[in-house]
Structure 1
Amino acid sequence: MSLLALDARWRRLHDEARACPCCGRQFSGLIDFAFAQPDAWPHAEPTPGMPEIVAGEDRLSPDLCRIGEDRFLSALLSLNVRGSDEEVHFALWVAVAPKTFYAYLDAATGDGPAFEGGAGWLMNDLPGFESDEPLPCTLLPGAEGERPRIRLADGPLAALQADGIGFDPLLDLYAALGDDIRPHLAAD
C-alpha cells in the first residue's frame, strides 16, 4: 500500500465509481496534461478533431511543429508522485535541430533507424516554473509507439524529475493549468 492510499482525496481520484457530489464529475486516476502547441506558435490554436494546422510554411500537428526554420517535437516530461508508485505526464514541446527532427520523423515513419534522441530546448512553461529562456534538455527515446522523453539537466523542474512531486503541489499545478480538481476531491 502506498502512503498516499491513506489520503481520502487520493482514493477519490482513483475511484472510477465515485461521482463528485457537487457536479457528478468522475476520475480514474492521475490526469496527464498536453500543451497543444509550442509557446512560440503564432497562429490559431488547434481545436479537437483538427489533425493539422497549416499557415503558409508553418505547420502544427499533435506531434510535430514547424515555425519558419525552427522544428519542434512533442515529448513527455514525467514526474513521479511522491508516496505512490505512479507518474504524471506532461506533453510539452521541445525545439530541436533539423537533424534530430528528421531522425525522429524517419524513425516514426519506418524510413530510418530507431530514434536515438538528441539535445533540445523546452518550449512550454509549466505554471510556477516559468523561465525567461528556453531550458536545455535531452530527448530520450520513448517506449515503442510513445513520444520521446524529456530529461532536464538542472533547475526546479529537473529537481522534480529527480525527487518527484507531492500530491498537494500536483493538485496546485493542475489548478494553475486550468483544471482545479481540489473541490471535487474534498468530500463525499
Structure 2
Amino acid sequence: MTQNDTTQPSSPKRRWLLKSALALGAVGAALGGAVFWKRGITDGTLTDSGKEVLKAVASAVLADMLPTDPAAREAKLEGQLLRLNQVIQTMPSSAQGELAALLGLLANAPTRLMVTGLSSAWAKASTEEISAALESMRIHKLPTTMLSYHAVRDLTCIAFFTNPDNWALTGYPGPLDI
C-alpha cells in the first residue's frame, strides 16, 4: 500500500515574497548603514556632510537675503554654519541624534535622490535645483518627508534670524526701545 503525500510544495508566490523581503531587507540595511556612515552631526558638531547639506539649504532658503557679492555671500554662509553649530549644541542629545540621522539621510546620494529628487550633490547643485528639491519635500505626500523639510528649513531660519548681525540684511531694525 502506498501513502499519498498530501502536503503541497510551497507556492511560487511565497518564494517570490520571501526573496523580495530578503532583498528589501538587504537594501534597507545598506541604506541605513550608509546613513550611519555619513552622519550629519558628531559629538554635537556638524560634520562635513552635515555642513554641505545645511549650507545648500541656507543658500536656497535665504537666497534673497544673502549678499549678491560672491565673496560676501560665501562669508555669510560660513557664518551661518558657525551659528548652526551653536544652535545644535543647545539641543538635547536625543534631538541631535535625530538631526544627525536626517542630515545623513540627505547627504547620501541614494537616499537624497529618494527623498528630494536631487540627483547631484548638494555642493554642486544650483540654487534653483536646491529650491526645487526642497519644494518637492515640502509638498510630498509622506508626512515624514514634509517634516524633514520643515526641520532643515526651520533650523536654518532659527539660526539666521536670531543672529543680530543678520537683521540689517532682512530690513529688521532690531527691537524697539520701550
Question: TM-score w.r.t. structure 1 length?
Answer: 0.22
> Greater share of helix residues, 1 or 2?
2
The higher-RCO structure (CA 8 Å, 6+ apart) is 2
Which structure would you say has the larger Rg? 2
> Greater share of strand residues, 1 or 2?
1
